[in-house]
């Protein structure tokens, strides 16, 4: 079993033409030949720009932050999986807690979006994670299993082609990180759930996300079931993101 780690930067709703150019140039200048897979996920409006900036790079892949659950048609503001495909998008974040919270995305929406992404040949990075209240009430395992089970239910054996990201909501953008032991325990639960669903579970990547940074990445990434990171704030600073990439081997 060997899983190549994945470090994906979620830029969220940050950036500008000028800032993106500077960030990607700094990343390309410093990345060399990483020992892991690397992706950046800019806002949808900048996919074309970042695709052009990354052209020719083997080291950094393009990702998106969302995909429509619909195939095409009268869905104002949505971006379809085939549109992402047109821009060379390789990964798409699906079910981020900010979308579950602010855009009322349900487990079923997330499962359908996964299907759309997979049918366009794009790897979904499926986010699961509990809120602070759920955490404090001891519901972590129940919540993440419920979120992942909707994706498994709709996608069957294709679930072997997804990436999972465990992102405790209380750790996102807060500076609080799950301890490596806490994160590993949840990753092991998710791995066991995947094992019951697909023979490919041992080859699947489960990322940790939630205030991962240059200082704590190595310890988190050393856990047996942590196969990379989904990085928010630290992905906006090239030096920090590159340090996390260097820690992933």
Positions marked active-site: 96, 167
Please state the closest distance from residue 13 (CB atom) to ligand PEP, in A: 11
- Give the C-alpha distances (Å, rounded to integers) separating 248 from 9, 91, 174: 14, 18, 22
The DSSP string of 172-211 is TTTS----HHHHHHHHHHHHHHHHHH-TTGGG--EEEESS
Residues in the chain: 249
Please state the closest distance from residue 233 (CB atom) to ligand PEP, in A: 4
Comparing CB distances to ligand PEP, the nearer of 20 and 216 is 216
Q: How far is Cα of residue 130 from the mean position of the Cα atoms in its chain? A: 16
Comparing CB distances to ligand PEP, the nearer of 169 and 197 is 169
Residue 213: how many CA atoms within 13 Å on its side-chain side?
13
How far is Cα 137 from Cα 20, in angstroms, rounded to an integer?
A: 40
Comparing CB distances to ligand PEP, the nearer of 197 and 228 is 228
Residue 115 contacts residue 155 (beta carbons within 8 Å): yes
How far is Cα 243 from Cα 196, in angstroms, rounded to an integer?
A: 35
Binding residues for ligand PEP, rule: CB under 6 A, are 10, 167, 172-173, 209-212, 230-234
| DSSP bridge partners of 91 | 63, 123
How far is Cα 6 from Cα 60, in angstroms, rounded to an integer?
A: 11
Comparing CB distances to ligand PEP, the nearer of 53 and 217 is 217
Residue 11 contacts residue 64 (beta carbons within 8 Å): no
How far is Cα 146 from Cα 140, in angstroms, rounded to an integer?
A: 10
To the nearest 10°, the Cα dihedral for 101, 102, 106, 109? -140
Please state the closest distance from residue 10 (CB atom) to ligand PEP, in A: 4
Please state the closest distance from residue 94 (CB atom) to ligand PEP, in A: 12
Please state the closest distance from residue 99 (CB atom) to ligand PEP, in A: 10
Comparing CB distances to ligand PEP, the nearer of 122 and 214 is 214
């Amino acid at each position: 079993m060997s899983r190549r780690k994945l470090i994906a930067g979620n830029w969220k709703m940050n950036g500008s033409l000028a800032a993106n150019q500077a960030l990607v140039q700094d990343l390309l200048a410093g990345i060399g030949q990483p020992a892991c897979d690397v992706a950046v996920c800019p806002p949808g409006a900048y996919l074309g720009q970042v695709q052009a900036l990354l052209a020719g790079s083997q080291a950094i892949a393009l990702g998106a932050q969302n995909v429509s659950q619909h195939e095409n048609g009268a869905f104002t503001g949505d971006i379809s999986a085939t549109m992402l495909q047109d821009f060379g998008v390789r990964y798409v974040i699906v079910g981020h807690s900010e979308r579950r919270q602010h855009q009322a995305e349900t487990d079923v929406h997330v499962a359908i979006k996964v299907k759309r992404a997979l049918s366009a040949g794009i790897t979904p990075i499926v986010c699961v994670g509990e809120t602070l209240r759920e955490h404090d009430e001891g519901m972590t395992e129940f919540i993440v299993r419920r979120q992942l089970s909707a994706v498994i239910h709709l996608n069957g054996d294709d679930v072997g082609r997804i990436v999972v990201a465990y992102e405790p909501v209380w750790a996102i953008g807060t500076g609080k990180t799950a301890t490596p032991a806490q994160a590993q325990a949840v990753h092991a639960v998710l791995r066991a759930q995947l094992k019951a669903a697909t023979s490919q579970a041992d080859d699947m990547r489960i990322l940790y996300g939630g205030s991962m940074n240059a200082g704590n990445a190595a310890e988190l990434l050393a856990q047996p079931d942590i196969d990379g990171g989904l990085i928010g704030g630290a992905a906006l600073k090239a030096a920090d993101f590159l340090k996390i990439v260097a820690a992933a081997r």
